[in-house]
Amino acid sequence: MTQFSVTDTNRVRRVPKRAAYDKETVYAIVDAALICHVGMVGEDGRPTVIPTIHARDGDNLLLHGASTSRLMNHTGAGHDLCVTITHVDGLVLARSVFHHSMNYRSAVLYGKGSLIEDPAAKMAALAIFTEKLIPGRWDDARQPNATEMKATHIVSIPIDLAAAKVRTGGPVDDEPDYDLDVWAGVIPMETVFGELIADGRLKNGVTPPDYVRSFVAKGE
């Protein structure tokens, strides 16, 4: 199990027992999420946080977007980035207000990005994005043409440092509070898919392919 180094940048200080620095834990959190929040420092020295879709290629986080976008141009230019991914898994109701909490899985990644320029590598990255969104889609949808490739930037961010933080389980109350007549427990939360909404201009006879049906059936 490969570990990230632990430095002043990525060390989890609050509730360190919830921290993990191994790639297996961090990457599972990254891969289970559709979107991430990208933190950047602008030329004026101020922070900006932009949500965007991500994918992962080994130890590299991939972002993509329009070649005209500020997000792509900033993240592709080698500036320091912090990319954070969070799943909320439940509300934790304790007997005391103070010990209310949430169950969650979060990953905080640090690195600097660069644009992928090689056309074959760019195309391979787009395939990774599409297959992450829904496995089977890349071979079914119309793949990008030269104009679309030109309009798209892919940024690759080698993940230099990272940390995961995970809370699971029920509430932990102060010992005297266990005598209170207050209900305590967890309200689990999860993200689910709804019924497919077919586009209004589908050609006659086109139905959802098996890979879409099975993807929706098994949930996120």
Residues 124-163 that bind a copy of itself (CB under 8 A): 126, 130, 133-134, 137-138, 140-145, 148, 151-152
Q: Which stretch binds a copy of itself (CB under 8 A): 18-26, 55-63, 114-122, 172-180?
A: 172-180
Beta-carbon count within 10 A of 26 CB: 25
Q: Which stretch binds a copy of itself (CB under 8 A): 18-26, 55-63, 113-121, 180-188?
A: 180-188
95: its two tokens = 């007997």
Beta-carbon count within 10 A of 87 CB: 17
Q: How far is the CB of 87 from a copy of itself (least distance, A)?
A: 10
User: Which residue among 1, 58, 146, 199 contacts a copy of itself (CB under 8 A)?
Assistant: 199
CA pair distance 28, 8, nearest whole angstrom:
23
User: Which residue among 19, 86, 114, 160 contacts a copy of itself (CB under 8 A)?
Assistant: 86
Residue whose CB is less far from a copy of itself, 9 or 60? 9
Among residues 187, 214, 162, the alpha carbon closest in space to that of 90 is found at 187
66: its two tokens = 């329009």
CA pair distance 209, 220, nearest whole angstrom:
17
Q: Is 186 in the site for a copy of itself (CB under 8 A)?
A: yes
Q: Is 119 in the site for a copy of itself (CB under 8 A)?
A: no
Q: Is 32 in the site for a copy of itself (CB under 8 A)?
A: no
Residue whose CB is less far from a copy of itself, 2 or 169? 169
Q: How far is the CB of 59 from a copy of itself (least distance, A)?
A: 20
Mark residues 33-62: x for contact with a copy of itself by CB under 8 A, - for none. Answer: -xx-xxxxx---xxxxxxx-x---------
Task: Please name every residue paired with 61 in a beta bridge, in sequence order, or none if there are none.
Answer: 56, 157
Q: Is 120 in the site for a copy of itself (CB under 8 A)?
A: no
Query: Would you say how long the chain is, in residues?
Result: 220
User: Which residue among 14, 16, 58, 218 contacts a copy of itself (CB under 8 A)?
Assistant: 14
Q: Which residues of 155-179 are buried (b: 16+ CB within 10 A; e: fewer)?
A: bbbebbbbbbbbbeeebebeeeeee
CA pair distance 95, 79, nearest whole angstrom:
45
Find the helix or strand (DSSP H, E) in which 26 lies: helix 23-31
Task: Please name every residue paired with 92 in a beta bridge, in sequence order, or none if there are none.
Answer: 101, 186
